[in-house]
Chain A
Amino acid sequence: MYNPAGSALEDGTAVLQPVLDVRNLTVTYRTDKGPLDIVRNVSLQVAPGEIYGLVGESGSGKTTLARAVVRYLAANGSLTADTLKLGDTDLLTLSRAEMRKVWGSRITMVHQDPGAAVNPSIPVGEQIAEVARVHLHLSPGEARKKALEMLGLVRMPDPESVARRYAHQLSGGMLQRVLIATAMATNPELMIMDEPTTALDVTTEAVILDLLNELMTDYNTAILYITHNLGVVARICSRIGVMYAGEIMEEGPVKKVFRSRLHPYTRGLLGSVPRVDASKKDVHLKAITGQIPRPEELPEGCIFSPRCELAEGDCLIARPPLVQADGDHYTACRRWQELLHLKEKEQHEGPVRGAYDSAKGPLVLEAREIKKHFRSSGGLSSLFSRESGPIKAVDDMSVRLRGGFTMGIVGESGCGKTTFARCLAGLEEATSGEIALEGVTLPYSVNRRKQSDLKKIQMVFQNPDASLNPQHQAGVSVARPLILLGGMNRSEVRSRVRELFRAVNLPEDYIYRLPHELSGGEKQRVAIARAFAADPILMLCDEPISALDVSVQASLINLLAELQEKNETAYLFISHDLAAVRHISDWIAVVYLGRLWEVGSADDVFVPPYHPYTEALLSAIPVPDPEVSQEQIRLRGSVPSAVNIPSGCRFHTRCPRKIGPICEEKEPPWQESGFHHKICCHIPLPRLKEMQGKGCFFNSSAEGEEC
């Protein structure tokens, strides 16, 4: 009955034998609390040349499943399955020694962190050659040739020199390509990729995804692609399995699943992703409430029922099986037929707040020509190192922001956006420039700022684990700013802390919890409460949601938007996630190599004409909709070093629209494009607009989906 891959090919031409055939796989771990089934009754098939996307929140068992499939479990794990076949080989009957021959030759893996997966003391070419020697039994000479061939295959510029380099001499994107080359060297039947692009920049990610797409047309390798990013799935996968708490909730061809969404969990995931083509003015993100249940506390009925809005009597009693809904589309929801007709009430809940064209708030922040140059080294060691120039992390950035508005700052990692925020916060001392808050100039260092100034700027940090003191109760963290900056007495502090916990939707008894008793999202809520405790007029949000799951991200974005509306706080929202920035921001600033290149309202920045760099960023975003096609503009290489900044226009080394020597020689001028919309480029704006045409996103089907 379950045979999706066999009949999966929509053209129906060939019934192929699946490369990977898993039926009723259950993975059990022996733990202190007794045996726990981490993955239960999972069946899946992957056809040759197919990319199968496995998605779900963290803790849903994706990685465990992938490891079980290759029988590579920790010592306390065991698996049972009716079928576990790789082609014709029954993996269940293989001995450990036989499995070892399968690993690395017929099944290969690409991991999330390319830096950790490459041996730092062996040249990368040698590492690929080693695989060729061991598994393909090539001579050393042939293996070396094979390594170069593979590096060429993954579009590595200058394979010969790259092959001789070590891991630390390559960027993250290049390393990931090396790993793909290693994994492809044996022409495996199955390649398992576990979040291969999660640690990379959007622009680099786009290049890797393109590469995978290209490789798949030439090779017959099947890929099991694990990710939490629905946009990535939409871009490269042909089939998708949505996993939740160890079971598959919905499975089918990507287009069908994204279109009809026959499981409330899939709906929840898709509803919580901010979109590049909609902002907080249009939609309210729909977060999934609650969290994945722990494996020892699974609910009786449908495992999703505690978080499901549609759960009713029968859902709570028996666990529904995965049923065939429509050909090769399967769902584990009892009520899928109703879902087919249920109106999408996901994102569209009407305008949440008035737009930026509502009455202008007072000018809160005016940062003029901020520069931050780091000396490359300090202390005694600088005596021995040769003189090199300063690292120009932030090199002349100016920003103005009014109360109640959000300015989003976007750019690749290493572009200086975080350093800029830290300069405003006073955590780094700016080298030059002027930071004025409500017209009052602030000292550079936080240590020299007056209490009344400190009160006005607060910050929410990226890493929830590091932002709370592990030894302090959550309430203490929130109370300190009240005592120090609010000058309140004990009873006032106590009632205000309770208010703040309510405001960030945390139960009051969380006040007495230690951070390790909180989840990532809850920690971040406490951090937000702490920042708001000072009642600031400017809030610096440094990637506050990047480390969290999509469903949690959505609820935090909503919370931030809600608090902003209530308190009229100005936000500086830093993120590499353009969709999130677009969603929450009224204004957007695009940063590259320590400088701004485009500033404008969120609506203007996302439609042509835009700066070529903005254009490249936009076209790289994976949009969680398989029906949307994007223009393919890819940046070459990685961000240049901030020590030797390119001459003229700093972007010329990677610019896809470079017009000539003028770009290398002269700094480009600012051009006004409309209402406070400025672009810094040599290309005249009308010309730019002409080149960019309709913009980055267009819908391949007829429905309106342009921006």
Chain B
Amino acid sequence: MAKDNRGNSKPSSPFSFLKKLRRYPATAIGFIIVFLFILIAIIGPSIAPYPYTEQKLSERLAPPSEEHIFGTDQYGRDIFSRILVGSRDVLLVAGSGTAMAVMLGLLLGLFSGYRGGLLDEIVMRLMDVILSIPPLLLAMVILFSLGPSRLNVIIVVGFLYIPMVARVVRSVVLDLKTRQFVEAARMRGEKSGYILFREIFPNVLPHLAVEASMRFSYAIFLVASLGFLGLGVQPPSPDWGLMVGEARTWFHQARWILLFPAGAIALLVVGVGFMSDGLRRMLLPGGVSDV
């Protein structure tokens, strides 16, 4: 009957994705930065010019030069190599932490939003309790009691960001569950599991992706802050936050030992931020309420 389809958008292809990227240069830059950092994390240790723990006391606090393009630190270690190797730590710790938060937050948000009632009320008030404590303070308390280690930092990041993810997921579920396609599913007797995971969940995904990327940029910052305070990974690992922390004493003599690790953190956070903005624009064109 209807031959012509007004208002149809053509099926998306990888090209349309690239086209969209061209329209938003900031987004493209964000994706490129994140991609480069991931690349570095994978191949970094094998292309690093020096082992990251190699100390050359004769060359301590050397300014950037051809041999050490980012200079050396107080023990004469090559900063460039340490940053390359350290990128793996940052991405791994912040990434796993985010993944944990997203997974648990998603489950809590889905069930609590869909079931509603008392369960929802209890879960959400618990989330509020976590949210009401300053994150860094909470992280410090937990890490003091658990002891600083990589795994514990991941657990802390994961725990702290559950409420944010859960709240976003829940609000999307609340909106979706009154949609008529869900009611139609109920009217044909679908089980809750089908409704939750086949009808609702696919429509939560875009929101989840945007939220996850945002949490990731926060997580990088939190991991770096914990490193800086000495609560995260311990020396001599090449953690960027730790490097910034250690550089404080030497900063007046050798600015580069602070500048480069701090710059790496900033660049990564900005890159993830741009990427997250871009994801939002591409996946949620109509704003948050549009599914």
Q: Which residues of A contact B (CB under 8 A)?
A: 59, 289-294, 297, 306, 379-380, 425-427, 446-447, 449, 451, 454, 457-459, 461-463, 466-472, 477, 480-481, 484-485, 505-507, 516-522, 527, 530-531, 534, 555
Q: Does B54 contact A (CB under 8 A)?
A: no
Do B181 and A477 have beta carbons less than 8 Å apart? yes
Give the docked Cα–Cα distance between A534 and B179 (Å).
20
Tell whether A518 pairs with B8 under 8 Å between CB atoms, given A379-B121, A471-B203, A484-B188. Answer: yes
When distances are taken between beta carbons in the complex, the residues of chain B under 8 Å from A457 are: 187
Do B6 and A291 have beta carbons less than 8 Å apart? yes
Do A467 and B4 have beta carbons less than 8 Å apart? no
Within 8 Å by CB of B2, from A454, A467, A519, lies A519
Do B184 and A519 have beta carbons less than 8 Å apart? no
Do A447 and B8 have beta carbons less than 8 Å apart? no
When distances are taken between beta carbons in the complex, the residues of chain A under 8 Å from B9 are: 516-517
Within 8 Å by CB of A466, from B1, B179, B186, B199, lies B179
Identify the closest chain B residue to A481 (Cβ).
Answer: B188
Give the docked Cα–Cα distance between A458 and B184 (Å).
8
Tell whether A458 pairs with B4 under 8 Å between CB atoms, given A466-B181, A469-B181. Answer: no
Do A291 and B187 have beta carbons less than 8 Å apart? no
Within 8 Å by CB of A446, from B6, B11, B187, lies B187
Give the docked Cα–Cα distance between A271 and B3 (Å).
21
Give the docked Cα–Cα distance between A516 and B7 (Å).
8
Do B189 and A484 have beta carbons less than 8 Å apart? yes
Within 8 Å by CB of B183, from A59, A427, A521, A534, lies A427
Do A427 and B2 have beta carbons less than 8 Å apart? no
Besides the known contacts A471-B202, A484-B188, 12 further A-B residue pairs in the complex with CB atoms under 8 A apart: A289-B1, A293-B4, A294-B4, A447-B186, A459-B187, A467-B179, A467-B180, A467-B184, A472-B199, A485-B189, A506-B1, A519-B2
User: What's the least CB distance linking B123 to chain A, in Å?
Assistant: 13
Tell whether A454 pairs with B8 under 8 Å between CB atoms, given A290-B3, A470-B203. Answer: no
Do B3 and A461 have beta carbons less than 8 Å apart? no
Question: Among residues 174 to 200 in chain B, which have CB atoms less than 8 Å away from a CB atom of chain A?
Answer: 179-181, 183-190, 199
Q: Does B291 contact A (CB under 8 A)?
A: yes
When distances are taken between beta carbons in the complex, the residues of chain B under 8 Å from A291 are: 2, 4-6
Give the docked Cα–Cα distance between A451 and B190 (Å).
10
Do B199 and A469 have beta carbons less than 8 Å apart? yes
When distances are taken between beta carbons in the complex, the residues of chain B under 8 Å from A531 are: 184
When distances are taken between beta carbons in the complex, the residues of chain B under 8 Å from A463 are: 180
Do B190 and A484 have beta carbons less than 8 Å apart? yes
Tell whether A485 pairs with B4 under 8 Å between CB atoms, given A461-B180, A466-B181. Answer: no
When distances are taken between beta carbons in the complex, the residues of chain B under 8 Å from A306 are: 3-4
Within 8 Å by CB of A480, from B1, B3, B190, B291, lies B190
Give the docked Cα–Cα distance between A426 and B203 (Å).
25
Do A425 and B203 have beta carbons less than 8 Å apart? no
Identify the closest chain B residue to A453 (Cβ).
Answer: B189
User: What's the least CB distance linking A235 to chain B, in Å?
Assistant: 29
Tell whether A427 pairs with B203 under 8 Å between CB atoms, given A290-B3, A517-B5. Answer: no
Do A446 and B184 have beta carbons less than 8 Å apart? no
When distances are taken between beta carbons in the complex, the residues of chain A under 8 Å from B179 are: 466-467
Do A59 and B6 have beta carbons less than 8 Å apart? yes
When distances are taken between beta carbons in the complex, the residues of chain B under 8 Å from A446 are: 186-187, 189
Tell whether A289 pairs with B2 under 8 Å between CB atoms, given A468-B181, A469-B181. Answer: yes
Do B8 and A290 have beta carbons less than 8 Å apart? no
Do B188 and A485 have beta carbons less than 8 Å apart? yes
Within 8 Å by CB of B1, from A293, A447, A449, A505, lies A505
When distances are taken between beta carbons in the complex, the residues of chain A under 8 Å from B190 are: 480, 484
User: What's the least CB distance linking A271 to chain B, in Å?
Assistant: 17
- Show 14 residue pairs from A and B whose CB-CB distance is below 8 angstroms, ordered by the A residue: A59-B7, A290-B1, A292-B6, A293-B4, A297-B4, A427-B183, A459-B183, A462-B180, A466-B180, A467-B179, A485-B188, A506-B1, A506-B2, A519-B2
Give the docked Cα–Cα distance between A505 and B3 (Å).
11
Which 8 A/B pairs are nearest by Cβ-Cβ distance? A471-B202, A461-B180, A467-B180, A505-B1, A469-B181, A481-B188, A291-B6, A466-B179
Tell whether A519 pairs with B185 under 8 Å between CB atoms, given A470-B203, A470-B291, A471-B202. Answer: no
Do A480 and B180 have beta carbons less than 8 Å apart? no
Give the docked Cα–Cα distance between A507 and B3 (Å).
9
User: What's the least CB distance linking B210 to chain A, in Å?
Assistant: 16
Do A480 and B121 have beta carbons less than 8 Å apart? no
* Interface bin, chain B: 20 to 34
Do B4 and A290 have beta carbons less than 8 Å apart? yes
When distances are taken between beta carbons in the complex, the residues of chain B under 8 Å from A294 are: 4, 6
User: What's the least CB distance linking B186 to chain A, in Å?
Assistant: 5
When distances are taken between beta carbons in the complex, the residues of chain B under 8 Å from A520 are: 7
Give the docked Cα–Cα distance between A516 and B188 (Å).
23
Give the docked Cα–Cα distance between A603 and B185 (Å).
37
Identify the closest chain B residue to A378 (Cβ).
Answer: B117
Identify the closest chain B residue to A507 (Cβ).
Answer: B1
Do A290 and B203 have beta carbons less than 8 Å apart? no
User: What's the least CB distance linking A664 to chain B, in Å?
Assistant: 38
Question: Among residues 44 to 92 in chain B, which have CB atoms less than 8 Å away from a CB atom of chain A?
Answer: none
When distances are taken between beta carbons in the complex, the residues of chain A under 8 Å from B3 are: 290, 306
Identify the closest chain A residue to B10 (Cβ).
Answer: A517
Within 8 Å by CB of A458, from B1, B2, B187, lies B187
Give the docked Cα–Cα distance between A645 and B4 (Å).
50
When distances are taken between beta carbons in the complex, the residues of chain B under 8 Å from A458 are: 187-188
Give the docked Cα–Cα distance between A513 and B6 (Å).
14
When distances are taken between beta carbons in the complex, the residues of chain A under 8 Å from B187 are: 425-427, 446, 454, 457-459
Identify the closest chain A residue to B202 (Cβ).
Answer: A471
User: What's the least CB distance linking B170 to chain A, in Å?
Assistant: 14
Q: What 0/1 pattern do residues 8 to 51 of B give for CB contact below 8 A with A?
A: 11010000000000000000000000000000000000000000
Give the docked Cα–Cα distance between A485 and B189 (Å).
8
Identify the closest chain A residue to B183 (Cβ).
Answer: A427
User: What's the least CB distance linking B124 to chain A, in Å?
Assistant: 10
Do B186 and A480 have beta carbons less than 8 Å apart? no
Tell whether A469 pairs with B203 under 8 Å between CB atoms, given A291-B2, A291-B4, A477-B181. Answer: yes
Tell whether A451 pairs with B189 under 8 Å between CB atoms, given A380-B121, A463-B180, A467-B181. Answer: yes
Give the docked Cα–Cα distance between A467 and B187 (Å).
12
Q: What 0/1 pattern do residues 153 to 181 of B give for CB contact below 8 A with A?
A: 00000000000000000000000000111
When distances are taken between beta carbons in the complex, the residues of chain B under 8 Å from A380 are: 121
When distances are taken between beta carbons in the complex, the residues of chain B under 8 Å from A447 are: 186
Do B189 and A522 have beta carbons less than 8 Å apart? no
Do A459 and B184 have beta carbons less than 8 Å apart? yes
User: What's the least CB distance linking A654 to chain B, in Å?
Assistant: 31
When distances are taken between beta carbons in the complex, the residues of chain A under 8 Å from B11 are: 517
Do A519 and B5 have beta carbons less than 8 Å apart? yes
Give the docked Cα–Cα distance between A533 and B99 (Å).
41
Give the docked Cα–Cα distance between A294 and B7 (Å).
8
Give the docked Cα–Cα distance between A290 and B186 (Å).
33
Give the docked Cα–Cα distance between A379 and B116 (Å).
10
Within 8 Å by CB of A521, from B2, B185, B189, B203, lies B2
Taking each of B2, B8, B121, B183, which has the highest tally of chain A beta carbons within 10 Å of its own beta carbon? B2
Taking each of A426, A454, A469, which has the highest tally of chain B beta carbons within 10 Å of its own beta carbon? A469
Taking each of B181, B202, B203, which has the highest tally of chain A beta carbons within 10 Å of its own beta carbon? B181
Give the docked Cα–Cα distance between A291 and B181 (Å).
25
User: What's the least CB distance linking B199 to chain A, in Å?
Assistant: 6
When distances are taken between beta carbons in the complex, the residues of chain B under 8 Å from A469 are: 181, 199, 202-203
Give the docked Cα–Cα distance between A426 and B185 (Å).
12
Give the docked Cα–Cα distance between A59 and B6 (Å).
9
Identify the closest chain A residue to B11 (Cβ).
Answer: A517
When distances are taken between beta carbons in the complex, the residues of chain A under 8 Å from B2 are: 289-291, 506, 519, 521-522
Give the docked Cα–Cα distance between A480 and B1 (Å).
25
Do A519 and B1 have beta carbons less than 8 Å apart? no
User: What's the least CB distance linking A103 to chain B, in Å?
Assistant: 28
Give the docked Cα–Cα distance between A704 and B188 (Å).
48
Do B4 and A427 have beta carbons less than 8 Å apart? no
User: What's the least CB distance linking B171 to chain A, in Å?
Assistant: 15
Do A519 and B7 have beta carbons less than 8 Å apart? yes
Give the docked Cα–Cα distance between A688 and B290 (Å).
50
When distances are taken between beta carbons in the complex, the residues of chain A under 8 Å from B188 are: 454, 458, 480-481, 484-485, 534
